[in-house]
A = this chain, B = another copy of it.
Amino acid sequence: MKTLLKNAKILSMKDDRIREGHIVINDNRISEIGPQVDLNAKYDKVIDCEGNLLMPGFKNAHTHSAMTFLRSKADDSALHDWLFKEIFPRENNLYKGCVYELAKVALLEYLTSGITGVIDQYFFPEEFEKACKEYGFRAVNLIMYDPESRNKETCYELIKCNEDKDSLVKAVIGLHSEYTPTDEMFKTTKELLDETSLPFYTHLSETAQEVSDCLSRRGIRPMKFFDDLHFFDRGGAIFHGVYLDDNDIEIIKNRNVIVVSNPASNMKLASGVAEIKKLLSKGVTVALGTDGPASNNALDMFREMYLVTGLQKLVLKDPVSIPAFEVLKMATINGAKAMNLKDADTLEVGKLADIIMIDLSRPSMQPINNIINNLVYAGEKDVVKMTMINGKVLYYDREFFVGEDIKQLYSRVQKMTEYLSVIKK
């Protein structure tokens, strides 16, 4: 299958230059790129980009996709009440088969926002994997050992996908956080990490409370706790990282850990603002995530990009930080790093064809002054014309090509949501 994307502006993300040209895709990888492509060769599919922008898809490096059923269910409530009275009791209702459907609504939304890959962390990861493979969506599945629902053997089953280098879904190993697992869960997870040589992923330092609780319980901060136990010896990523001190940052740097920031969720839940400028100045790699639809509530990388720089400007009283191109790198290249997807980061020959088209004819993109700035400061889902993953167009002109009757999906998910929403006494 040979696809030609012709007459485009191309932002490869190798640098901040935008060049006119074309892209040829052979099956799932870029085989040619630039102005010299032979437009008259034989192609199975030709898309005329009409001068619109092609760029690498966004990587949403932290999300809980199937939480769509809790979207906008319990906003404007205090964090503790929200978690313990609204979220947890309803998550207890989850049953086999529903994560598969609930996650699909999130996958559709990712496509509308030009997101071509996510790191997902939730219950029933096997169902998430199934949904992604069915739709053709790229993901990293965060597998958590849990004696009650997922023994070591099942974890091994779930990371088998890594053996197939072409698998759309890969797996890594992680924990929910420092404050929820039992000692046995820490121990077995560490064994799994050592046996598989995989990096480690966890929520960390999301709230001030979490850090102070850890300090009172353990006498050390969460980052040091995990590092002392060698969890980060092969790198990985922490989600949120709002409250990090200099020593935490030192560990993060030494272990090549990536900080995945979730500015919208941290704002809406009143958790705080991560010190992104400081992290960048110390050489830490920062990626972006939407977090789940219950806390955000949109799954939109444009929102995260706008907020990650906007909130630094606000908090630091400094409109200069963080420049737009740095933000775009977080949302693309750095996200790919967090996903261990070295070949889905830029648009170059040999790279995976995870490509989005930005419609420059939408009024928010006009006039053309500085496309990069404009993407970060005026971009939104409305400007995403095409989302292609692994060489396949899954979204074009607001239509989905995922082999599903969307209305029927919504109807099933609505019934499921209503069933799951009942809090059982």
A contacts, CB < 8 Å to B: 68-73, 75-79, 82, 105-106, 108-109, 112, 264, 266-270, 272-273, 293, 296-300, 303, 306, 309-311, 313-314, 316-324, 361-364, 366-370, 373-374, 377-382, 398, 406-407, 410, 413-414, 416-417, 421
The closest CB in chain B to the CB of A379 belongs to: B298
Check if B298 sits within 8 Å of A364, measured CB to CB.
yes
Q: 8 more A-B contacts (CB under 8 A) besides A68-B367, A105-B367?
A: A72-B374, A75-B370, A78-B320, A272-B314, A296-B378, A297-B378, A298-B378, A380-B380
Specify which of B76, B313, B366 is in contact with A320 (CB 8 Å cutoff): B76
CA distance A264 to B306 in the complex (A): 9
- A362: chain B residues at CB < 8 Å are 112
Residue from B293, B303, B309, B413 within 8 A of A306 (CB atoms) = B303
- Give the complex CA separation of A311 and B71 in angstroms: 20
- Please, which residues of chain B bring their CB within 8 A of the CB of A268? 310, 313, 319, 377
- Bound-state CA distance A314–B77 (Å) is 13
The answer to whether A73 and B296 touch (CB under 8 A), given A112-B363, A319-B269, A363-B109, is: no
Separation in Å of the A206 CB from the closest CB of chain B?
Answer: 13
A297-B377, A313-B270, A378-B72 are known contacts. Are A369 and B105 too (CB-CB below 8 A)? no
Known: A297-B373, A298-B378. Is A367-B112 also a contact (CB below 8 A)? no
Could you say which residues of chain B place their CB within 8 Å of the CB of A106?
A: 363
Which of the residues B78, B300, B363 comes within 8 Å of A319, measured between beta carbons?
B78
A182 to B361 alpha-carbon distance, docked (Å): 42
Q: How far is the CA of A82 from the CA of B377 in the complex (A)?
A: 16
Whole-angstrom distance from the CB of A374 to the nearest CB of chain B?
4
Contacts of A75 in B (CB 8 A): 324, 370, 373, 377
- A366: which of B309, B369, B382, B410 is its contact (CB, 8 Å)? B410
